[in-house]
């Protein structure tokens, strides 16, 4: 006979001696009462879907196998509490009856062999089922974690912008009262999220179109350092310390002044770079970058070479690598967003950062990201707003109009007009009324604000036409608009207005027309401009005092342009403005890594003198060596006294005369062709 049959004959059952369970009671139906108490339903049968079971001998069967993880986590403490109450209740009938509500039945109250036999027969299957339940719980929990983790990873990149907005909300919450959150922040406040062009492209085209298949690649990216100015790429060489650091010089009136510094090893690389530039061979710069892949000036110079060769992608990549190298050298307290950190352009170490930012924003504007380019323009202006070494004020109005940041442009004009005289620049004189006109066209604004914007636009555009009459006709010409007979024949806007203006003013007007003429092509803009042109002609015919005052200002001012305007025109590469540059600017060599350096530069280290050549070098040897691009006669001569200096000057003049004579001789050499014989066969006969 089997052991189960023997136990039936003896009246025994498995699990009698289970400690801590109390006495098993009868299998009553405690469903309604348990529902009122908030406990889990009793475990009956082999599972929650099986036939009803008479009694329960295992406490873990109180937990249904198919309940969800959240419900199980909430009901487990209640179940343990009820089981502990059963242990303290003892074997009294009242306690047993109360404990039967928790799903446990004591063995002393079992009647009949039917209940014992049913319990014994189902005990092995029940034990097997309960032993697998905790394992099943863990597996479900793990699966849920994995699935949740994958969801977070998939949505991580799409939620970056929302997370940044959530972080900045508490910081800007007090400023958002009354709807003046933008005006209460500093004028040159820079937002980190607007420095990333991908955020702007995602607003235009969506995250899926911009990111594409970049998500799995970003998980395997070897660069873990987060940057604000640019994102490192897997194709770049591994970054190592280049020898550039940033130091805090001083703090005055809440403004911190910083400067970049070059260590000795970086200075040696800089000297090699200058030699490579003088060789006029880009391959030498490429070789230098292979040894020093994050040398900033080499990256800037080679970027210009690639851009001239129509390799825009490589040129942009080199500029981003230069920005990455400089950002890795930032001081811990240097802030891009505060607008209170300054860099002096007179120091050669700081110029690379200005130039890299400017060239980067030009690439961003061509790429179709004017909002990001505007943010970089504000960053450049915040580094030195008093001197503005790259004269980004000539560019910031155009980027504001393209990015439709009309409120920022009007606010800049209102706050800086009193101490910077922005209305005396043609770009602000015409762009600010255009911004007010666009604000007056926004239907979501109140009618009062729209009417005020229209009045300001009308007043300012008339003042601009009176102050700079030479802008109108080239602007209409670029927009392919034919003016009416009155405007075309009037001398105030005619050719005389362009000829009579100074060269400096001609450069500013040519720069503005060549850059922003596309913004004036809108038919609505031309319809708004036409009546104001006729009103200005009426004022001119009436000899208004404003017209006479503007003509007097044009004659006194704009005599010569400052050096930062020339530097801006060279970097912008606008054909209309470059053609108007004076001869003293175009005649000197202009290098992409340092165009038109300031005359009052603060030099921290100098290039060592070259080794002198033997003094008994022949004149012919000097001539052939002078044909090399890096020839410098002054560097080969020792200056030990006044006599030697005079002799060196005489030798220099003699060599220059010799070279000029040799060049003339080589240019005038003519090779005579051999005489042609009309009768090649000859007159005589050959033997």
427-467 pLDDT per residue, tens: 999 999 999 999 999 999 999 999 999 999 999 999 999 99
Lowest mean pLDDT among 54-58, 158-162, 199-203, 413-417: 54-58
Average pLDDT over every residue of 187-196: 91
For residue 255, give the 3-state DSSP assignment. strand
Could you give the CA distance from residue 629 to residue 26 in angstroms, rounded to a whole number?
Answer: 109
For residue 321, give the 3-state DSSP assignment. helix
For residue 87, give the 3-state DSSP assignment. helix
| Closest CA relative to residue 302, chosen from 276, 327, 340 | 276
Q: Which residue has the tokens 């404003």?
A: 546
The pairing of strands 341-343 and 255-262 is parallel
pLDDT of the residue at 482: 92
Residue 562: pLDDT band by 50, 70, 90 thresholds? very high
| Per-residue model confidence as pLDDT tens digits over 203-235 | 888 877 777 655 545 444 454 466 889 988 889
In this predicted structure, the answer to whether residue 120 has a pLDDT above a threshold of 90 is no
| Closest CA relative to residue 360, chosen from 196, 141, 130 | 196
- When the pLDDT of each residue in the chain is averaged and rounded to a whole number, the result is 75
Q: Which residue has the tokens 């189902």?
A: 122
Cβ distance 24 to 106 under 8 Å?
Answer: yes
| Per-residue model confidence as pLDDT tens digits over 327-367 | 999 999 999 988 899 999 999 999 999 999 999 999 999 99
pLDDT of the residue at 573: 87
pLDDT of the residue at 15: 52
Average pLDDT over every residue of 226-253: 90
Residue 608: pLDDT band by 50, 70, 90 thresholds? confident
In this predicted structure, the answer to whether residue 370 has a pLDDT above a threshold of 60 is yes
Q: Which residue has the tokens 């009546």?
A: 531
Output 53 or 606, whichever has higher pLDDT.
Answer: 606
Residue 624: pLDDT band by 50, 70, 90 thresholds? low
Could you give the CA distance from residue 186 to residue 164 in angstroms, rounded to a whole number?
Answer: 19
In this predicted structure, the answer to whether residue 99 has a pLDDT above a threshold of 80 is no
pLDDT of the residue at 121: 44
Residue 495: pLDDT band by 50, 70, 90 thresholds? confident
In this predicted structure, the answer to whether residue 657 has a pLDDT above a threshold of 90 is no
Tokens at residue 546, please? 């404003």
In this predicted structure, the answer to whether residue 176 has a pLDDT above a threshold of 60 is no
In this predicted structure, the answer to whether residue 122 has a pLDDT above a threshold of 60 is no
Could you give the CA distance from residue 380 to residue 685 in angstroms, rounded to a whole number?
Answer: 88
Lowest mean pLDDT among 306-310, 507-511, 639-643: 639-643
pLDDT of the residue at 609: 76
Could you give the CA distance from residue 326 to residue 463 in angstroms, rounded to a whole number?
Answer: 44
Average pLDDT over every residue of 574-578: 87
Cβ distance 384 to 361 under 8 Å?
Answer: no
Tell me the range of 453-462, 620-629, 644-653 where mean pLDDT is highest. 453-462
Residue 662: pLDDT band by 50, 70, 90 thresholds? low
pLDDT of the residue at 159: 59
For residue 445, give the 3-state DSSP assignment. coil
Residue 619: pLDDT band by 50, 70, 90 thresholds? low
Residue 147 backbone phi and psi in degrees, to 5: -65, -40
- The predicted model scores a pTM of 0.65
Lowest mean pLDDT among 29-33, 287-291, 421-425: 29-33
For residue 422, give the 3-state DSSP assignment. helix
Output 655 or 437, whichever has higher pLDDT.
Answer: 437
Residue 23 backbone phi and psi in degrees, to 5: -95, 135
In this predicted structure, the answer to whether residue 148 has a pLDDT above a threshold of 50 is no
Residue 72: pLDDT band by 50, 70, 90 thresholds? very low
In this predicted structure, the answer to whether residue 269 has a pLDDT above a threshold of 90 is yes
In this predicted structure, the answer to whether residue 138 has a pLDDT above a threshold of 70 is no
| Closest CA relative to residue 261, chosen from 236, 278, 243 | 243
- Measured CA to CA in angstroms, residue 111 lies from 117, 246, 687 at distances of 11, 90, 151
Average pLDDT over every residue of 363-382: 95
85 CA to centre of own chain: 64
pLDDT of the residue at 164: 52
In this predicted structure, the answer to whether residue 522 has a pLDDT above a threshold of 50 is yes
Tell me the range of 2-16, 289-303, 654-668 where mean pLDDT is highest. 289-303
pLDDT of the residue at 79: 42
457 CA to centre of own chain: 33
pLDDT of the residue at 594: 92
pLDDT of the residue at 199: 87
Instruction: Indicate the DSSP class of residue 195.
Output: G
In this predicted structure, the answer to whether residue 684 has a pLDDT above a threshold of 70 is no
Spell out the SS3 assignment of 351-379.
HHHHHHHHHHHHHHHHHCCHHHHHHHHHH
In this predicted structure, the answer to whether residue 55 has a pLDDT above a threshold of 70 is no
Tokens at residue 229, please? 């100015």
| Closest CA relative to residue 115, chosen from 52, 46, 60, 197 | 52
- Measured CA to CA in angstroms, residue 666 lies from 624, 625, 658, 670 at distances of 13, 17, 12, 9
Residue 128: pLDDT band by 50, 70, 90 thresholds? very low
């Amino acid at each position: 006979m089997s052991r189960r049959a023997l136990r039936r004959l003896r009246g025994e059952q498995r699990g009698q001696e289970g400690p801590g369970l109390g006495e098993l009671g009868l299998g009553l139906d405690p469903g309604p009462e348990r529902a009122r108490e908030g406990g889990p339903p009793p475990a009956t049968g082999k599972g929650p879907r099986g036939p009803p079971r008479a009694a329960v001998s295992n406490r873990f069967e109180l937990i249904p196998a198919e309940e969800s993880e959240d419900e199980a986590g909430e009901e487990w403490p209640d179940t343990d509490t009820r089981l502990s109450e059963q242990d303290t209740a003892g074997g009294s009938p009242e306690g047993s009856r109360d404990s039967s509500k928790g799903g446990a039945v004591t063995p002393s109250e079992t009647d009949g062999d039917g209940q014992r036999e049913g319990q014994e027969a189902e005990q092995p299957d029940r034990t097997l089922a309960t032993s697998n339940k905790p394992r099943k719980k863990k597996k479900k929990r793990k699966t849920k974690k994995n699935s949740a983790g994958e969801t977070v990873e998939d949505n991580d990149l799409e939620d970056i912008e929302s997370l940044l907005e959530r972080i900045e909300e508490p910081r800007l919450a007090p400023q958002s009262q009354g709807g003046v959150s933008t005006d209460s922040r500093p004028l040159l406040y820079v937002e980190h999220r607007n420095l990333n062009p991908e955020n702007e492209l995602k607003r235009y085209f969506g995250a899926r179109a911009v990111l594409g298949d970049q998500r799995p690649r970003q998980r395997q990216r070897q660069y873990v350092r987060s940057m604000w100015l640019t994102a490192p790429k897997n194709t770049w060489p591994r970054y190592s310390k280049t020898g550039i650091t940033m130091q805090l010089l001083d703090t005055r009136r809440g403004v911190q002044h910083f400067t970049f510094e070059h260590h000795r090893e970086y200075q040696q690389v800089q000297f090699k770079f200058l030699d490579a530039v003088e060789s006029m061979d880009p391959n030498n710069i490429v070789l230098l970058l292979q040894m020093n892949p994050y040398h900033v000036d080499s990256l800037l110079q080679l970027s210009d070479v690639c851009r001239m060769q129509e390799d825009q992608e490589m040129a942009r990549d080199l500029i981003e690598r230069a920005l990455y190298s400089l950002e890795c050298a930032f001081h811990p307290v240097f802030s891009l967003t505060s607008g209170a950190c300054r860099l002096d352009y007179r120091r050669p170490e700081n110029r690379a950062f200005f130039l890299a930012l400017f060239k980067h924003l030009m690439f961003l504007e061509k790429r179709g990201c004017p909002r990001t380019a505007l943010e970089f323009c504000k960053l450049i202006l915040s580094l030195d707003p008093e001197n503005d070494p790259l004269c980004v004020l000539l560019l910031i109005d155009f980027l504001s109009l393209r990015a439709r940041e009309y409120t920022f442009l009007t606010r800049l004009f209102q706050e800086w007009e009193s101490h910077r005289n922005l209305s005396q620049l043609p770009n602000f004189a015409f762009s600010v009324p255009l911004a007010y006109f666009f604000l007056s066209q926004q239907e979501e604004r109140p009618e009062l604000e729209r009417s005020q914007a229209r009045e300001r636009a009308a007043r300012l555009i008339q003042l601009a036409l009176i102050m700079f009459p030479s802008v109108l006709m080239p602007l209409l010409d670029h927009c392919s608009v034919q003016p009416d007979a009155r405007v075309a024949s009037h001398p105030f806007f005619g050719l005389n207005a362009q000829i009579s203006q100074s060269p400096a003013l001609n450069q500013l007007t040519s720069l503005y027309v060549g850059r922003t003429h596309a913004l004036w092509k809108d038919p609505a803009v031309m319809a708004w401009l036409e009546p104001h042109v006729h009103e200005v002609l009426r004022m001119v015919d009436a000899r208004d005092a404003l017209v006479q005052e503007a003509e007097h200002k044009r004659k006194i001012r704009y005599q010569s342009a400052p050096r930062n305007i020339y530097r801006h025109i060279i970097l912008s590469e606008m054909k209309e403005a470059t053609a108007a540059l004076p001869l003293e600017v175009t005649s000197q060599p202009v290098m992409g890594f340092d165009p038109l350096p300031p005359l009052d530069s603060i030099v921290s280290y100098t290039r060592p003198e070259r080794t002198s050549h033997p003094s008994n070098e022949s004149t012919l040897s000097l001539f052939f060596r002078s044909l090399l691009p890096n020839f410098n006669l002054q560097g080969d001569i020792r200056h030990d006294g006044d006599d030697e200096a005079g002799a060196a000057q005489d030798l220099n003049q003699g060599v220059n005369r010799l070279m000029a004579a040799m060049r003339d001789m080589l240019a005038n050499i003519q090779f005579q062709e051999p005489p042609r014989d009309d009768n090649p066969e000859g007159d005589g006969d050959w033997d």
